[in-house]
């Protein structure tokens, strides 16, 4: 028996208006380049976050959050690769590499690699994983989470303050 892929996690969240999200580096449904793959755990990528651009935020947007989540990770709860929040409301684009530790694009939350930066794709061999690069328009200027909050707590607070959301979902597979 072959199991079906689960729906995208955002299908289970309260519905919100859609943002348009595009990138010069990744495309929905297409394979990510090695530039965006993790550089540890046996992977030899460059661990560079992709360029992202968004539009269509509703009135009342006071900040943004950008996340990258792998719903196909064999954990039972997915895998958070990137959490960047408190991005000012006048920012509508992040350059390639904005996920590096120490950049001033916003506040980096701890991902599931236990790092406060972008952590690239690192799926086990066998099937393609989806990497949901989401942009969340938030109704608060500051998310107000503890600096050491786990990814699920950050995600909860992002969802509680989301006015609109959009994402692109490239894939990556180890063969």
What is the model's pLDDT at position 1? Answer: 45
Instruction: Kindly state the average pLDDT of the residues 96-100.
Output: 95
pLDDT above 80 for 9: no
Domain count for the chain, please give it: 1
Is the residue at 155 inside a domain?
yes
Q: How far apart are CA 40 and CA 43, in angstroms?
A: 5
Domain annotation covers residue 3: no
Alpha-helix residue ranges (DSSP H) falling in 18-172: 151-160
Q: Give the model's pLDDT for residue 104.
A: 80
User: Mind listing the pLDDT tens digit for each residue in 62-91?
Assistant: 999 999 999 998 888 899 999 999 999 999
Residue 74 lies in a domain: yes
Domain ranges, residue 62: 16-172
pTM above 0.85, yes or no: yes
Tokens at residue 104, please?
């001033």
Residue 92 in any domain: the answer is yes
Q: Give residue-wise pLDDT tens across range 133-150.
A: 999 999 999 999 998 999
Mean residue pLDDT of the chain comes to 92
**pLDDT for position 13:** 80
> Is residue 41 over pLDDT 90?
no
Are 93 and 108 within 8 A, CB to CB? no
Q: Pick the residue with more confidence: 22 or 2?
A: 22
The residues, any chain, with a CB within 8 Å of residue 8's CB and separated by 6 or more, are 71, 130, 132, 169
CA–CA separation, 139 and 61 (whole Å): 5
Report the CATH number that the domain containing residue 101 is assigned in CATH: 3.90.280.10
């Amino acid at each position: 028996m072959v199991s079906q892929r689960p729906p995208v996690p955002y299908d289970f969240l309260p519905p919100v208006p859609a943002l348009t999200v595009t990138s010069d580096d990744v495309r929905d449904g297409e394979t990510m380049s090695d530039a965006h793959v993790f550089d540890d755990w046996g992977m030899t990528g460059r661990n560079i976050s992709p360029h992202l651009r968004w539009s269509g935020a509703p009135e009342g947007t006071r900040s943004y959050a950008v996340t990258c989540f792998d719903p196909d990770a064999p954990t039972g709860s997915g895998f958070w690769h990137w959490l960047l929040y408190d991005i000012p409301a006048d920012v509508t684009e992040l350059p390639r590499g904005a996920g590096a530790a120490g950049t001033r694009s916003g506040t980096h939350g701890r991902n599931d690699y236990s790092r406060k930066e972008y952590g690239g794709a690192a799926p086990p061999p066998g099937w393609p994983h989806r990497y949901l690069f989401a942009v969340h328009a938030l109704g608060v200027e500051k998310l107000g989470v503890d600096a050491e909050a786990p990814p699920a707590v950050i995600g909860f607070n992002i969802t509680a303050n989301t006015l609109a959301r959009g994402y692109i979902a490239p894939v990556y597979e180890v063969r």
